[in-house]
Amino acid sequence: MKIWASAPSAAVAANARLTITNMESGVSVTATTDEVGLNRVGPLNPDSYRVPVDMDRFLFLERRSLIVQVSQTLQLDLELTVCSPSATVSLPASTPLLES
């Protein structure tokens, strides 16, 4: 699987953290993109995979149900979105923040 991660304005997403997980078996491979936002992972067994990508100051992104077939090189192009410094997460008042 060839993975290319980029940011807005065609900037590269160097050092993005990837976890390639086989959706059937749950077996995972972790990787990090290089200085140009590229990573090659493999060989992978033919099956269905999910690929979350995480990088500081960018929104979490995940692609699911990626099908890898026999003798196939799957290219996955991921464009990350810059996380706004004013982004907030709202929880309902009934959600406990800590449990003892």
CA dist., res. 29 & res. 85, Å (int)? 31
Q: Where are the domains of the chain?
A: 2-79
pTM for the full predicted model:
0.72
Query: What is the distance, to the nearest Å, from the Cα of residue 13 to the centroid of all Cα atoms in its chain?
Result: 11
- Alpha-carbon distance of 50 to 67, in angstroms, equals 9
* Distance between first and last Cα of the chain: 43
The pLDDT tens digits for 60-95 are: 889 998 899 998 888 888 888 887 766 555 556 554
CA distance 46 to 33: 23
CATH number of 2-79, picked from 2.60.40.1930, 3.40.50.150, 2.40.128.110, 2.60.40.1120: 2.60.40.1120
At 46, list the tokens.
């033919």
* Rounded-to-integer distance, Cα 60 and Cα 57, Å: 9
